[in-house]
């Protein structure tokens, strides 16, 4: 009996010891962090009168903690297209999902002390100040930090969704959209989990002054809703994940930092107005030159999908 009790006691002690070790291991795993860098990029704005869009970022924080190595910076977002990014800073973060990035903007002055801090630079060189009801933008989009990986979080500040133009007679004024629209117009992704779609557009019939390619999650595009404008600011194509302008003699475009999934590509025609702005003209009928299903383009991590198309007319 004594031997039985002794053996039972030793077994219990061993079990408690194992549980304690497991807890220590779990705590160590939970506490482990991974260096995570943050960069900003942009999707193009649909206005010929816009030469540049400068924003002065005073602070960037994740879950209330400011990025390390970050100092106030004035960035021309309009130059950060087609996969171009600008580094902001980094943090050591645990491997999990996050959804609370806060951008603090300086509306009053840029990093050189010049006013204003956020503005549209028009083609004639004039500055049009950008302001919002708050200088702190909370980005609600989620991003994932991975264990044992190169974590680069890309913040896509979509100018087409976040800036509006209000016209009054022959004059116009640019401003930020509402705070809720501003938050919704910025997405965050881990570059390690993204791919891209790029290609060339053959518009032999010269259907448009400008062509924009929109990437939608498969099955989510509603032409009646997306072309009419959404929300208080009337943002068109508001549910597009991202967009790209067709540029150059070859008609090239690049849809970057797309998370894994299936996408449908929408090609839209724009005509230039007398006031230098672009107005939506029509959706375009297109055909893939390689037989790719443009309504279900599958994107995987680090994959680069080629989608060359020919414009066959308007819808």
Name residue 36's beta-bridge partners. 91, 151
- Does 300 reside within a domain? yes
The answer to whether 174 and 93 are in contact (CB under 8 A) is no
The answer to whether 53 and 159 are in contact (CB under 8 A) is yes
- Does 19 reside within a domain? no
Total structural domains in the chain? 1
- Does 285 reside within a domain? yes
Over its C-alpha atoms, the chain yields an Rg (Å, rounded) of 25
- Does 6 reside within a domain? no
Query: What is the predicted pLDDT for the residue at 140?
Result: 85
Q: Please give the residue range of the domain that contains residue 272.
A: 32-314
- Does 205 reside within a domain? yes
Residue 134 CB contacts under 8 Å (≥ 6 apart), including other chains:
179
- Does 16 reside within a domain? no
- Does 217 reside within a domain? yes
Q: pLDDT digits over 121-163, tens only?
A: 998 999 999 999 999 999 989 999 999 999 999 999 999 999 9
Does residue 1 have a pLDDT over 60? no
Does residue 10 have a pLDDT over 90? no
Does residue 70 have a pLDDT over 90? yes
- Does 26 reside within a domain? no
User: From its phi and psi, is residue 180 left (phi > 0), alpha (psi between -120 and 50) or beta?
Assistant: alpha
12-41: b (≥16 Cβ within 10 Å) or e: eeeeeeeeeeeeeeeeeeeeeebebbbbbb
């Amino acid at each position: 009996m004594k031997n039985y009790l002794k053996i039972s006691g030793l077994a219990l002690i061993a079990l408690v010891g194992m549980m304690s070790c497991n807890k220590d291991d779990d705590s160590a795993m939970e506490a482990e962090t991974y260096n995570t860098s943050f960069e900003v990029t942009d999707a193009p704005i649909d206005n010929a009168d816009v030469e540049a869009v400068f924003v002065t970022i005073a602070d960037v924080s994740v879950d209330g903690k400011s990025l390390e190595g970050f100092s106030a910076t004035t960035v021309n977002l309009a130059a950060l297209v087609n996969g171009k990014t600008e580094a902001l800073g980094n943090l050591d973060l645990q491997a999990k999902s996050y959804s609370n990035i806060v951008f603090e903007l300086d509306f009053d002055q840029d990093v050189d002390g010049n006013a204003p801090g956020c503005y549209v630079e028009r083609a004639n060189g004039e500055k049009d100040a950008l302001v919002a009801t708050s200088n702190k933008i909370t980005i609600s989009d989620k991003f994932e930090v991975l264990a044992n990986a190169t974590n680069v979080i890309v913040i896509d500040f979509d100018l087409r969704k976040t800036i509006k133009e209000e016209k009054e007679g022959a004059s116009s004024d640019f401003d930020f959209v509402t705070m809720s629209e501003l938050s919704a117009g910025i997405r965050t992704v881990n570059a390690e989990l993204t791919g891209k779609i790029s290609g060339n557009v053959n518009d032999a019939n010269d259907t448009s002054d400008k062509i924009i390619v929109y990437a939608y999650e498969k099955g989510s595009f509603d032409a009646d809703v997306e072309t009419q404008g959404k929300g208080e600011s009337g943002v068109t194509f508001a549910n597009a994940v991202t967009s790209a302008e067709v540029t150059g003699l070859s008609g090239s475009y690049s849809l970057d930092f797309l998370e894994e999934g299936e996408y449908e590509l929408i090609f839209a025609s724009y005509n230039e107005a007398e006031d230098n702005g672009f107005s939506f003209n029509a959706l375009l009928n297109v055909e893939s030159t390689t037989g790719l299903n443009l309504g279900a383009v599958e994107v995987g991590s680090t994959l680069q999908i080629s989608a060359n198309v020919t414009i066959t007319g308007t819808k």
